[in-house]
Structure 1
Amino acid sequence: MRPLLAPALAALAIAGSAQAESPHAAPTVEVTISPELRQKAEQEYGVRDVERLVADLQQKTEREMQRSGVLAGGRIELTLVDATPNRPTFKQLGDTPGLSMSSFGVGGAEIEGKAVSIDGDVTPIRYRWYETDIRNASRTTTWSDAQYAINRFAVHLSLGKAYARR
């Protein structure tokens, strides 16, 4: 059985590398953190929490762009400009005596960047969503609204709805 398995795996590897080099491959997604949010992460939220949001933004954007086929072979460069938690982060709880996980507020996120097509055309991207009703925040986790904003952004981008409006 092993001799049959090796050629099959080799064929899959070749097909996978050919697909990655194809102009129809999903766009590459690069995500950075704005200097302001990085400072908030270091001083207030905790770097680990914000880095998880960055990883989530990259993964969800890649997945949705792969599903839709939009911007095949292109590149997406994003910056997580701001994110606000619904509940205190681990660092905030440690830094502020008396703060409780029962505390809650509205949260959200702001994302900017650009989409670069395979032909080199650059399209600015801007997306911002923050919860406006405190009543929706009482049954949330630490980053619920920021996660919701990231999910909405990824879907809207894959549908062509998150491009910056002039």
Structure 2
Amino acid sequence: MRKFAFLASLTAAAALAAAAHAQPAAVTVTLAPAFERSAEDLGRADVQAQMDRLVEIVTRELADDPDLAGVRIELVLTDLRPNRPTAGQLRDRPGLDPVRSISIGGAVVDGRIVTADGRELPVHYERFSHTLAEVHGVGVWYDADRAWRGLAANLEAGRYVQR
């Protein structure tokens, strides 16, 4: 029993030391100045929620990636389009139907990765449905969520620029 208790505390100490050594990537998201007006039209709360969701998905996906430990990932949201009307759009344009109004959604994200040694690597990712037939989800941000997941997968795979 004593050996087990000693090994358990040793394992916990080693895990804490490893976690302290390998800092996860720090992810920030800002809006491009050219996108500010569109963000207002979509509704600030909806856009902020999508920015937070992007940080969450990228951070979670890269949490265990040793190649990106300790880097800063600075993302800039340059375009964002919902598949269905946002709360702000429904408020501003009462003729929109929250269920039947559907559009091609997606997002464009630019930015950079700043490594621990100061190198800057450009980031570019864009993902939109091409036709309404491709819009299968029922959520307002179905295609944007697909874009966030695609960006995170590309970053994890070392593909920072996708055109």
Same fold (TM over 0.5): yes
Using the alignment, how far apart are the partners of 1:139 and 1:64 within structure 2?
Answer: 22
Residue type matched to 2:33 in 1? P
Distance (whole Å) between structure 2 residues aligned to residue 72 and residue 164 of structure 1: 22
Q: Distance in 1 between matches of 2:137 and 2:126?
A: 22
User: What's the offset of the Cα at 1:138?
Assistant: 5.4
SS of the aligned residue for 1:67 comes to coil
- Secondary structure of the 1:62 match is helix
How many residues get paired?
151
1:48 counterpart letter in structure 2: A
Pick from 93, 106, 129 the counterpart of residue 96 of structure 1. 93
**Superposed CA offset, 1:91-123 (max 9, x none):** 111111221011101110000110111111110
Provide the C-alpha distance between the structure 2 equivalents of 1:97 and 1:123, rounded to a whole number of angstroms.
44
Identity of aligned residues (%): 35
The secondary structure found in structure 1 opposite 2:63 is helix
What amino acid sits opposite 1:107 in the alignment?
A: G
Partner residue of 1:77 out of 74, 78, 87: 74
* Structure 2: unaligned runs, 5 residues or longer: 1-8
CA distance in 2, matches of 1:139, 1:146: 11
Deviation per CA, 1:63-108, whole angstroms, max 9, x where unpaired?
1111322321111111111100000111111111221011101110
Q: 1:120 aligns with which of 111, 118, 121?
A: 118
The answer (yes or no) to whether the contact 2:83–2:139 under 8 Å persists in 1 is yes
Preserved CA contact (<8 Å) 1:73 1:117: yes
State how far apart, in whole Å, the 1-side matches of 2:35 and 2:112 are: 19
Q: Is the 8 A contact 1:123 1:163 kept in 2?
A: no
Q: CA deviation at 1:149?
A: 0.4
With over 3 angstroms needed to count, the CA separation of the structure-2 counterparts of 1:88 and 1:164, relative to structure 1, is closer
| Structure 1 counterpart SS, 2:121 | strand
TM-superposed CA distance for 1:144, in Å, is: 0.5
- TM-superposition CA deviations, 1:130-153 (whole Å, max 9, x none): 110211225431111011101110
Residue 156 and residue 138 in structure 1: after superposition, are their counterparts in 2 closer, same or farther (change >3 A)? closer
Which stretch of the first structure deviates more once superposed, 93-102 or 67-76? 67-76
SS in 2 for 1:70: helix
Q: In the alignment, is the contact (CA less than 8 A) between 2:121 and 2:160 conserved in 1?
A: no
Runs ≥4 residues deviating over 4 A:
none
Corresponding residue of 1:34 = 32
Q: Which residue of 2 aligns with 1:162?
A: 160
Alpha-carbon RMSD:
2.1
8 Å Cα contact 2:25/2:69 also seen in 1: yes
TM-score using structure 1 length: 0.82
